[in-house]
Copies of this chain bind each other. A is one copy, B any other.
Amino acid sequence: MSRATVSRVMNGRDSVDADLAERVKAAAQELDYRPSSVARSLSLGRTQTVAVMIPELDNPMFQRVLQGFTDACAPKGYRVLVANTGDDPEVEVATAVEARNRCDALLMVAPRASDEVLQELLPQLQPAVVLGRQPSSRIDVSSLAIDYAAGAEAAVDHLVELGHRELIYVAGPELSSSNRERIVGLERARQRHRGITVTQIAGGAHLDDGRRVAAEVAASSASAVFAYNDLMAFGLLAGLAEHGVRVPEDKSVVGFDDIDLAGYANPPLTTLAVPHTALGARAWERLDALLAKREDPQTEPYQPELVIRASSGPAH
């Protein structure tokens, strides 16, 4: 009953005599012995753990990504190490490196870090998948890119079709690359629709940011508002109601993300759906393929989908 034998039994190798295996199991039970997964990891050279780097764990979208990812990993025996980085790009980088160092692979969700930093960093972080952001094409890394620009365009198209000519964009965090992409889409749409205006006002990403700008929006002559995300749209709806502005009769509101509660807003929120849970699951598939060397890095684009509900209506 050597250590090797024990190891074989614990790993379910069938090359051990049934009797002996029984005895080993009994002994293990008796002493409630459990193999040290750390030693195992060292010996095997893999930890069966994958790191997820997330900028804001308090954001429902990221939570859904995490959920999709975690649930996809589990059946393959992989666990997830979460790293919440906060807004600071410096911290983000350091954390990513450290977390990756403990794991076999890395999922980076919509980093704040600049393209330059990413370019330098990602090669040594692989296998890795970047989600929610299109890294500069010169970086050879897998990514699941969400076409936020197209989403923003679709929002404007929708509102213009309804007859709106004067729009407001309640912007997201300055550092957020996804906010910049939305702005690119907005600009494209503005060029296509001659004569419309899109006024940008500083928003944020949270409920209270939305509520905070409600007064400004209410006072404006714009007939439609496009918010960086659903959370702000929610805040906006509440704030507008307080200011006596009716939605969609007086102003239309469009959000982004399609959080679970979007359909339960009052009125139900028109928004651009992004399949965050599915993206999380897909991210694992890609990472798994990378780990198994079944596949090379590649980028995979996703289109947000316009979901029309009652918060957007014809302009008067």
Contact = CB atoms under 8 A, between A and B. Distances in A.
A170 interface: no
Max chain B Cβ within 10 angstroms of own Cβ: one of A39, A42, A235: A42
Contacts of A211: 264
Interface in A38-86: 38-39, 41-42, 47, 49, 57-58, 60, 63-64, 66-67, 70-71, 74, 79-84
A124 B237 contact: no
Contacts of A42: 36, 38-39, 42
A42 B32 CA distance: 20
A238 B266 CA distance: 8
A13 B57 CA distance: 34
Interface in A78-136: 79-84, 97, 99, 101-102, 124
B67 A124 contact: no
A207 interface: yes
Interface residues of A, number: 46
Nearest to A35: B101
Interface string A261-285: 1011110100000000100000000
A82 B74 CA distance: 10
A64 B70 contact: no
Nearest to A70: B84
B57 A207 contact: no
A241 interface: yes
Interface in A242-294: 260-261, 263-266, 268, 277
B38 A47 contact: yes
Contacts of A238: 263-264, 266, 268
A34 interface: yes
Contacts of A58: 63-64, 67, 277
A15 interface: no
Max chain B Cβ within 10 angstroms of own Cβ: one of A36, A38, A99: A38
Contact of A234 (B38, B41, B99, B264): B264
A58 B61 CA distance: 11
A277 B84 CA distance: 14
Contacts of A37: 101-102
Contacts of A260: 207
B81 A80 contact: yes
Given A57-B63, A67-B57, A235-B264, A102 B124 contact: no
Contacts of A47: 38
Contacts of A102: 37-38, 49, 79
Given A207-B264, A264-B235, A264-B237, A66 B38 contact: no
Nearest to A45: B38
27 contacts: A34-B97, A34-B101, A36-B101, A37-B102, A38-B47, A39-B42, A57-B67, A57-B71, A60-B60, A60-B63, A63-B63, A66-B82, A70-B82, A70-B83, A71-B84, A74-B83, A79-B99, A79-B102, A80-B82, A81-B81, A211-B264, A234-B261, A235-B264, A237-B266, A238-B266, A238-B268, A265-B266
